[in-house]
């Protein structure tokens, strides 16, 4: 039996996934979470084979969740399901440790196939995404965010959501001084000098769904 945890801040999306997946005799929904923080706690407690995770959620992002699951060497395989199909975002998520990547426009059959394939330890990429990644490799396309470490990317994602350095430090178990050092380092690497510029760059490269997600970023400069 394939145990799955659904992590998405939209209840209707979780309901749709649940209705599709629970019809399968070899799949069971072990739990649902409306945030990445709650999802991480559930993954640690339930230890499902698969976690279906949205990228863009309030609070911790799907990228951060993926990296924390992999860093903790948990056995759960992450399948990302998102509206974003730009090749640069899947590449970053696959580098972070995700084993599957689907867009929310996928069919019910594709969702089931992806879950079974990833449960068997094999990678699954939506065909359109796989094609984009192949073309990106041929074209030599790179994202400026490829130069960031996982921790620097985590800090960047939290900065553009307007979180103060003290809060980022508390959530990452780092001192505010260390967070400040990460902030300075990542901005130098990306050649930006303001959190709003950072948010714009993230939006252009598919790491933020819309500019609106960076709403209080000015308070973090």
pLDDT digits (tens, 9 = 90+) for 168-194: 888 777 899 999 999 999 999 999 999
Q: Examine the domain organization and report whether 100 and 195 are in the same domain.
A: no
State yes or no: pLDDT of 114 exceeds 60: yes
Burial zone of 191 (CB within 10 Å; 0-12 exposed, 13-18 middle, 19+ buried): exposed
Confidence of residue 56 (pLDDT cuts 50, 70, 90): confident
- Whole-number Cα distances in Å, 205 to 84, 86, 193, 200: 10, 8, 17, 9
Q: Examine the domain organization and report whether 56 and 131 are in the same domain.
A: yes
Confidence of residue 60 (pLDDT cuts 50, 70, 90): confident
pLDDT at 132: 63
Question: What string of DSSP letters covers the chain?
Answer: -EEEEEE-S-HHHHHHHHHHHTTSTTEEEEEEESSHHHHHHHHHHH--SEEEE-S--SSS-HHHHHHHHHHTT-SPEEEEEES---THHHHHHHHHT--EEEETT--HHHHHHHHHHHHTT--EE-HHHHHHHHHHHHHT---GGGGS-HHHHHHHHHHTTT--HHHHHHHHT--HHHHHHHHHHHHHHHT--SHHHHHHHHHHTTSSSSGGGGTTGGGG-
Q: Examine the domain organization and report whether 169 and 101 are in the same domain.
A: no
Among residues 93, 117, 139, which one ends one of the domains? 139
Q: Examine the domain organization and report whether 127 and 152 are in the same domain.
A: no
pLDDT at 89: 63
- Whole-number Cα distances in Å, 63 to 150, 151, 202: 9, 11, 13
Q: Examine the domain organization and report whether 159 and 56 are in the same domain.
A: no
Read off the CATH number of the domain in which 31 is found: 3.40.50.2300
**What average pLDDT is seen over the chain?**
84
Number of structural domains (the chain) is 2
Which is it for the CA torsion 158, 156, 81, 65, positive or negative? negative
pLDDT at 209: 59
Among residues 81, 109, 139, which one ends one of the domains? 139
Q: Examine the domain organization and report whether 41 and 115 are in the same domain.
A: yes
pTM for this one? Answer: 0.69
Higher pLDDT, 206 or 53: 53
Read off the CATH number of the domain in which 186 is found: 1.10.10.10
Range of the domain at 82: 2-139
pLDDT at 30: 97
Six-digit token pair at 144? 């400026």
Q: Examine the domain organization and report whether 78 and 133 are in the same domain.
A: yes
pLDDT at 142: 66
pLDDT at 23: 96
Q: Strand pairing partners for 4?
A: 29, 50
Q: Examine the domain organization and report whether 168 and 126 are in the same domain.
A: no
State yes or no: pLDDT of 11 exceeds 70: yes
Among residues 139, 163, 190, which one ends one of the domains? 139
Q: Which of 34-38, 91-95, 157-161 has the lowest mean pLDDT?
A: 91-95
Give which of 26, 28, 32 is closest to 14, Cα–Cα: 32
Q: Examine the domain organization and report whether 170 and 113 are in the same domain.
A: no
pLDDT at 141: 57
Q: Examine the domain organization and report whether 114 and 67 are in the same domain.
A: yes
Q: Examine the domain organization and report whether 191 and 109 are in the same domain.
A: no
Q: Examine the domain organization and report whether 121 and 208 are in the same domain.
A: no
């Amino acid at each position: 039996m394939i145990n799955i945890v659904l992590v998405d801040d939209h209840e209707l999306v979780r309901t749709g996934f649940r209705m599709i997946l629970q019809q399968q005799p070899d799949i069971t929904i072990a739990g649902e979470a409306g945030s990445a923080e709650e999802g991480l706690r559930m993954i640690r407690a339930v230890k499902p084979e698969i976690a279906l995770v949205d990228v863009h959620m309030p609070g911790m992002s799907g990228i951060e969740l993926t990296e924390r699951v992999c860093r903790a060497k948990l056995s759960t395989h992450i399948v990302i399901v998102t509206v974003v199909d730009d090749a640069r975002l899947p590449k970053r998520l696959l580098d972070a440790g995700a084993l599957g990547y689907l867009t929310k426009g996928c069919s019910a059959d594709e969702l089931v196939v992806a879950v079974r394939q990833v449960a068997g330890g094999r990678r699954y990429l939506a065909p359109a995404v796989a094609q984009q990644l192949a073309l990106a490799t041929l074209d030599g396309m790179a994202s400026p965010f490829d130069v960031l470490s996982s921790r620097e990317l985590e800090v960047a994602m939290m900065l553009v959501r307007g979180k103060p350095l003290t809060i980022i430090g508390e959530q990452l178990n780092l001192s505010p001084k260390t967070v400040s050092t990460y902030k300075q380092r990542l901005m130098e690497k990306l050649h930006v000098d303001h959190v709003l510029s950072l948010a714009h760059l993230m939006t252009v490269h598919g790491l933020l769904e819309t500019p609106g997600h960076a709403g209080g970023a000015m308070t973090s400069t």
